[in-house]
Homo-oligomer: A and B are copies of this chain.
């Protein structure tokens, strides 16, 4: 899975019937040490109610069809967790409620 920040929303009225009712979030991949954005973006289907500004991780590939929100749908990216904290080498590089 890959760590990213929710930075926005993508809206489409003309789309495959199979993705009706899904929320598409714009994610920017982050470096988990500096927590800076990498300028690399992906559109991900939300399965956990994530909001703009939150740090999440998403799953790619066929496993993006294995959440309750995306089962059987043409998805290659699904947010599966909102991150509380990231700890690297004994140091917190990210804490949500700080």
Contacts and interface: CB of A to CB of B under 8 A. Distances in A.
Nearest to A93: B8
Interface string A79-94: 0111111111100010
Given A88-B7, A88-B26, A89-B52, A68 B17 contact: yes
Interface string A60-98: 111111111000111111101111111111000100000
B88 A8 contact: yes
A11 B84 contact: yes
A63 B62 contact: yes
Contacts of A16: 47-48, 67-68, 80-81
Given A59-B74, A63-B75, A75-B59, A83 B10 contact: yes
